[in-house]
Amino acid sequence: MLHHVCDEHEWALGRCRHHDDEDDNEDDSLSATEETQKKPKTPLVPNSVAVRKLTSIALDKTWLKKVHKYLNFRTTSELESFQNHILMYASKRHAFCPPVYEARCQLAAIDYNKHLGRPDWLSKEGEAKYKRKFQKKSERWTANTMKEPKKYEYISQLQGLIIRKRITSNRGMSRKQPRPENDPRRRGTLSALPAPPTAMLVQQHRSRKNLTI
């Protein structure tokens, strides 16, 4: 790079690769007028202030140690989404012993991987369905696209394996305990603002989407 910006494309230890690309992919479709209108880039002067500044940045030892992290950068949105999905199976409101917590995380992983990449849920008219959601951080209502309902086809197989494991363990099976009426989980997400009509949120969602496009 330091040689290239000074218009030096061959040096003692190597040469630029762009010459090979230009020879293989030379564009003959440009007319003579377009060729003349192309403005050549002015190279930097060797040993100038700009080159010295660029050299100090490109050869900085701290930067060279961290540059591989930037080249292989990946967002953590998918990981955060999975962490939120685990809370559906292992809520922070309850304490679980290590074996139970591990089993719940495994169930969350099966559910997450099985239903990952579901298409949007469309109505009979072929339009996407939306649902309202209250954002606690911004304290406003938004409309999000709904995904197709999940199909827990693997549940019956898991139930059979669990029952078989339970029978062979020579231990009794406890009855399912219903959720009490005063359980706060029955109330869902509590919001400080009343929910506006879904049609209004959908219109705002489409307006923002058109602006970004």
- What are 2-31's pLDDT values in tens digits? 888 888 888 888 888 875 555 555 444 444
String of DSSP letters for 58-84: HT-HHHHHHHHHHHT---SHHHHHHHH
3-7, 60-64, 114-118, 203-207: the lowest-pLDDT one: 203-207
String of DSSP letters for 17-54: SHHHHHHHS------HHHHHHPPPPPPPPTTSHHHHHH
Query: What is the share, in percent, of the chain residues with pLDDT greater than 70?
Result: 85
CA separation for the pair 85, 71 (Å, rounded):
29
Per-residue confidence (pLDDT) for residue 71, from 0 to 100: 76
Whether 98 shows a pLDDT value over 80: the answer reads yes
Per-residue confidence (pLDDT) for residue 33, from 0 to 100: 46
The confidence band for 213, taking pLDDT boundaries of 50, 70 and 90, is: low
Secondary structure string (H, E, C) spanning 86-121: HHHHCCCCCCCCHHHHHHHHHHHHHHHHHCCCCCEC
CA separation for the pair 152, 135 (Å, rounded):
28
Query: What is the share, in percent, of the chain residues with pLDDT greater than 90?
Result: 19
In this predicted model, what pLDDT tens digit does every residue of 161-206 receive, in sequence order?
A: 988 888 888 776 667 777 788 887 777 777 767 888 888 888 888 7
CA separation for the pair 122, 213 (Å, rounded):
22
